[in-house]
Structure formats: C-alpha cells, structure tokens
C-alpha cells in the first residue's frame, strides 16, 4: 500500500513514515501543499494523510483536488474544534484525527479505512512462498505448507518487514500479543520450525543480540 503523507512538520511526518513503514506501507512525504499536489500528478496512492494548515496550498484546497481521484483521505490536524471536524468530514475527508495522536490509533484507523475501500493487501510473496492473508494459507512452489497459527503470523511479520532487523521483543509482542518477558525459547523454536518447513535457512538470518531478519540477498 502506497501512502502520501502531507505534513509540514518534518518530525511528525518522519514519525508517521517510520511507523507506517514498520507495518509494511510504502510512504512518501510532502512538506507543503504544492509538493503534495505535484506528487499526486506524478504518481498514484492508496491513501493520503493530510494536514490542514499547510504552506502554499492548504489541506482543504488539496482535498478538493484529490476528491475526483477517489483516493481515501485522513485529515491529521491540530484543528480540534467540533466545527472543524464537521467541516473536514463534510468536505470529503474519510476520517479526521486531531494532534497530538497516538501512533497505534493512527495505524488502526489506516487499516480500517483501507479495508473499507477494499484496498487492504490480501497476498504476500517472498522467494518461492506465497501467503494469502484472507484464507491464512501459505504455499511453497505452489504446494501448500501446513503452518500453525503463530508460525503463520510470524511469517507474515517477517515478509512485511523483509531486510529489516526485528527485535525479539517486537516479534513476540506482535505475534503472541503479550509483553516480552525475556524468554527466547518460544520464539526461537518457532523460527527454527519455520526455517525447516519453508527451507528458508539461508533467508531467515539471526541478528546477534537483536533478533531476526528476513533477507532477500539483494
């Protein structure tokens, strides 16, 4: 999923970009409305995160430009009055988030909006393995691979973050949904089984004192 972030505060824009990229989104930043409009002329996006108070062209004007494209838009703004929310939604924004916001809430709203538009990614692939998120199935070279629930979730997390070193804490919390208490045996044993079932000994690398990385060798 390709996301355009139009935000004049560089620190906020980069925080959003890093957070979304960690979840597998391809993000591009624009730091004023004109830059955002230029990027929209050159490329297509699955979602736009749009500030309102922008230099050059403000968010309201840019939203008018975006509407004919049918691209979903979430306003991210410090304008938190009820009348501002109503105006933004009536102008055509799909959602409205007031700064400061929690990154977790932003991610949840992004996922919900993309599902609503039928844009949520349903299939992943890496090397000779295909993963279908809707049916929660995996196939290697066209042949089904039997995976447990946690093995499947771990595989998805690795593929969505290929070439990124993932900390054991993050993997455990994302896949098992609980706080990481320092016991590596559960995670390590699942990684070993995943390597064996997929024949991915050369792809799933152990990163010393950090965790694991799915590496494509490019």
37, 60 contact by CB (below 8 A): no
Q: What is the C-alpha separation between 87 and 100, in angstroms, rounded?
A: 19
pTM of the model: 0.59
- pLDDT score of 145: 94
- pLDDT score of 100: 87
Residues in the chain where the model's pLDDT stays below 70: 119-121, 217-218
Do 133 and 192 reside in the same domain of the chain?
yes
Do 34 and 69 reside in the same domain of the chain?
yes
- pLDDT score of 124: 82
Give the CATH number, domain containing residue 147: 1.10.10.10
Q: How many domains does the chain have?
A: 2
Range of the structural domain that residue 137 is part of:
123-214
- pLDDT score of 62: 94
Domain C-terminal end among 89, 116, 143 = 116
- pLDDT score of 218: 53
Domain C-terminal end among 77, 96, 116 = 116
Do 92 and 145 reside in the same domain of the chain?
no
Do 78 and 152 reside in the same domain of the chain?
no
SS3 category, 45: coil
Question: Tens digit of pLDDT for each residue in 74-85?
Answer: 999 998 888 988
Do 88 and 27 reside in the same domain of the chain?
yes
- pLDDT score of 143: 92
Question: Tens digit of pLDDT for each residue in 170-187?
Answer: 888 888 877 777 778 889
Q: In what order do the strands lie in the sheet with 137-140?
A: 123-126, 129-132, 137-140, 143-145
């Amino acid at each position: 999923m390709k996301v355009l972030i139009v935000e004049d505060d560089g620190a906020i824009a980069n925080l959003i970009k890093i957070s979304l990229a960690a979840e597998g989104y391809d993000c591009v930043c624009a730091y004023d409305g004109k830059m955002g409009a230029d990027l929209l002329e050159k490329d297509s996006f699955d979602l736009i995160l749009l500030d309102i108070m922008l230099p050059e062209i403000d968010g309201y004007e840019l939203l008018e430009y975006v509407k004919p494209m049918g691209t979903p838009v979430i306003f991210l703004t410090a304008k938190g009055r009820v009348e501002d929310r109503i105006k933004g939604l009536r102008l055509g924004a799909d959602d409205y988030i007031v700064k400061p916001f929690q990154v977790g809430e932003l991610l949840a709203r992004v996922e919900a909006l993309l599902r609503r538009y039928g844009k949520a990614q349903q299939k992943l692939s890496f090397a000779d393995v295909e993963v279908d998120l809707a049916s929660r199935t995996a196939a290697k070279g066209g042949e089904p691979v039997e995976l447990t629930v946690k093995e499947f979730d771990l595989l998805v997390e690795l593929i969505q973050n290929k070439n990124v070193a993932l900390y054991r804490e993050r993997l455990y919390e994302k896949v098992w949904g609980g706080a990481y208490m320092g016991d590596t045996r559960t995670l390590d044993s699942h990684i070993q089984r995943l390597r064996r079932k997929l024949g991915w000994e050369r792809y799933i690398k152990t990163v010393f004192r950090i965790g694991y990385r799915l590496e494509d060798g490019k």
